[in-house]
Amino acid sequence: MGPLNRLVGALREASHCVALTGAGISAEVGIPTFRGSGGLWERHRPEELATPEAFWRDPEKVWRWYAWRQELVFSRGPGPAHTYLARLEEAGYVKAVITQNVDGLHILAGSRNVVELHGSIRRVRCTRCGHREELAGPVREVPPRCARCGGLLRPDVVWFGEELPRDALSRALEETEKSDLFLVIGTSGAVYPAAALPALAARRGAVVVEINPEETPITRIASMVFRAPAGEVLRAVYEELS
Ligand code: OAD
């Protein structure tokens, strides 16, 4: 049996398949990943842009970078990988998507049970009154101010050194513990606690599958590995199943 048929068979048999996704799943629509060649962290230092300390030191600088990323994200739609993952959920094969991405593309693609572990770049939060607001497009002024209290707004994302939203983390743990098939798609497995989820799933007896053109720390616990772009693999899987 070929590797694709093995995955198709596993999806048919699974009672609770969960996908964990990272920046690689959005790479195909032109949103750069963080690590690897051409990655954002090659050109920028995370501690200067993605920490609370960096924000309070220079909110304008941090916001310029986020405004640039918002321009990028708001101008892109879901790619094939987001779309086929949503279709796999609609067809009942995938039960949940846990994502480290802040681009909102899984939700736009039609995935329903989405856990956004690192928040959303499409939302802002007031650092003074806590008010949250969904944006229709990139922020216009930098740094933006709260319409309610005039406080400084921040992107509603998780920065290094911050805790993950409690509700998202507990939902992610719950889905992982329930899973018997765990797809790890487009993540380097470098950032915790998300990177711990595949091992947790494996300990609970789930079959771990990696879809990533590069080797990662997840590879050694994966029973099936696809060294190809996510969109290609998910399209082939979906077509085989339907
Ligand atoms: P990374 O940039 O660390 O890893 C992206 C992964 O996607 C790499 O392993 C690539 O090999 C893989 N990849 C690239 N193109 C792909 C494709 N077409 N199909 C499948 N895989 C592909 O991104 P994450 O693991 O998501 O956190 O990074 C985790 C966190 O680190 C992010 O959420 C962000 C970042 O710093 C915060 O900002 C808190």
Q: What's the CATH code of the domain at 61?
A: 3.30.1600.10
Residue 118 appears among annotated catalytic residues: yes
**Based on the domain organization, do 65 and 127 belong to the same domain?**
yes
Of 82, 106, 118, 131, which one is the catalytic site residue?
A: 118
Could you list the mean pLDDT of each consecutive 10-residue stretch along the chain, which spans 242 residues? 91 98 97 89 88 96 96 97 98 98 98 98 98 97 97 98 97 98 98 97 98 97 98 98 94
Owning domain of residue 114: 1-31+78-118+164-242
Q: What is the pLDDT of residue 15?
A: 98
Two tokens, residue 30: 């032109």
Q: How many angstroms is it from 147 CA to the middle of ligand 1?
A: 34
Count of domains forming the chain: 2
Surface-to-core class of residue 123, CB atoms within 10 Å of its CB (0-12 exposed, 13-18 middle, 19+ buried): middle
Q: What is the pLDDT of residue 111?
A: 98
Q: Residue 142, SS3?
A: coil
Q: What is the pLDDT of residue 42?
A: 86
Q: Kindly report the length of the chain.
A: 242
**Based on the domain organization, do 177 and 198 belong to the same domain?**
yes
Pocket of ligand 1 (CB under 6 A): 22-24, 27-28, 33-36, 39, 46, 50, 100, 118, 158, 160, 186-188, 190-191, 211-214, 216, 229-230
Q: Which of 47, 76, 100 for mutating ligand 1's site (highest number of atoms within 8 Å of CB)? A: 100
Q: What is the pLDDT of residue 46?
A: 86
Instruction: Quickly list DSSP for 151-177.
Output: PBEEEEEPPTTSPPPHHHHHHHHHHHH
**Based on the domain organization, do 105 and 205 belong to the same domain?**
yes
Q: What is the pLDDT of residue 1?
A: 59
Q: What is the dihedral of CA 49, 172, 130, 122, to 10 degrees?
A: 60
